[in-house]
A and B are shown apart, each in its own frame.
Chain A
Amino acid sequence: MYIYLFIFIVNTIFYFLLSMLLNNFFKNNFYYPFRILDLINFIINIIIFCPIIFFYFGIDILFITIIVNLNFFYIIFHIQNMVNTSPRTKILINIFDNINIKKYTEKMVVENRIKRLLSSQQIIIDKSIIKLNDNKKSLYFIDLIFRFIKKF
């Protein structure tokens, strides 16, 4: 039990530190909606910690370790997303920095999102008309997840 706890703590610290390091030294690209650096971080952690866990505890705890790392992946993904895109976080940070809240408008919200959706090729603008990119279905998948969340 103590060996497992030790490996779990090392896994946790390593996961968050590596995520910080990768974000500081490499440019972030998206495999929409995920950041590629987050996916790389998850895979590195799985490669390092799963064999160790399998060696000490066998297949059951290995499976649990994958779920633990999936949770880390989701938590980091979500917190980064909150800081990056959430209007509520932006309002809190603006109040903290004493920035006039009236400068943050719905126009900015829409423009930022259009910029992000364009860079991830989820939408296309054709003769100033915004359309969903039929070759990319991630937004439909996200829509499904939003509907699913509302049921819980």
Chain B
Amino acid sequence: MLLLKILIPLCLIIFFNKIFFFFNKKIIFINYFKKFIIYTIINAVILISILTFYKKNILLNNNDSTILISLIIIYFLFFFSFFLTIGLRSVNSPTHDIFNIIKNKRINTKTLIKKIKKKNIINNRIKDLIKQGLVKKNSKLELTPLGLMIAKFFILIKKKFKLKSEG
């Protein structure tokens, strides 16, 4: 029974992804996030309607309310995990590209670099960042206000976790 309950938030997030990618071939993260908020409001209205219909005051039952709250927490955590992963749908990871090249062929580093260069990784990423509204191109590349916020967040993480941004 519990497993079924846990599957509800997971299924809701998978369902959201299916709907989103049915209408959008490529992901614009800010749109994805906005649509998730609308989807969550709809889910909340449905949940409240169901509880009202069955006249069940869940807040009076401590056990039920704890399970409901924990499922809501899981719902948001599942979304956040999907949100972080979903970018890989439209852009291949360079490590994955390297794996696909070397799994069948025996090549040296120079040839590998040549093959990866053909994939135009950096330019494609810059184009994507412009499309996402994080970077704008004037005489040189500049961060948009949203891009600046995200860059500051990454720099904070970099400092707090003592990481290097190698790329």
Contacts and interface: CB of A to CB of B under 8 A. Distances in A.
Interface residues of B, number: 75
Interface in B65-86: 65-67, 69-71, 73-74, 77-78, 80-82, 84-86
Contact of A96 (B21, B78, B152, B157): B152
Interface residues of A, number: 65
Interface in B6-46: 6, 14, 17-18, 21
Contact of A152 (B6, B89, B117): B89
A4 B70 contact: yes
Contact of B102 (A57, A92, A130): A130
A57 B66 contact: yes
B98 interface: yes
Contacts of B154: 82-83, 89, 92-93
A2 to B, nearest CB: 9
A130 B122 contact: no
Interface string A109-152: 11111101100000101001111100000010011001001101
A111 B92 CA distance: 17
Contacts of A74: 81, 84
A34 interface: no
> B interface, by DSSP: helix, strand, loop or mixed?
helix
A71 B78 contact: yes
A142 B74 contact: no
A29 interface: no
B102 A131 contact: yes
A95 B141 contact: yes
Given A146-B88, A152-B17, 5 more contacts: A78-B81, A78-B85, A89-B165, A106-B120, A143-B103
Interface of A: 1, 4-5, 8, 19-20, 23-24, 57, 60-61, 63-65, 67-68, 71-72, 74-75, 78-80, 82-93, 95-96, 101, 104-114, 116-117, 123, 125, 128-132, 139, 142-143, 146, 149-150, 152
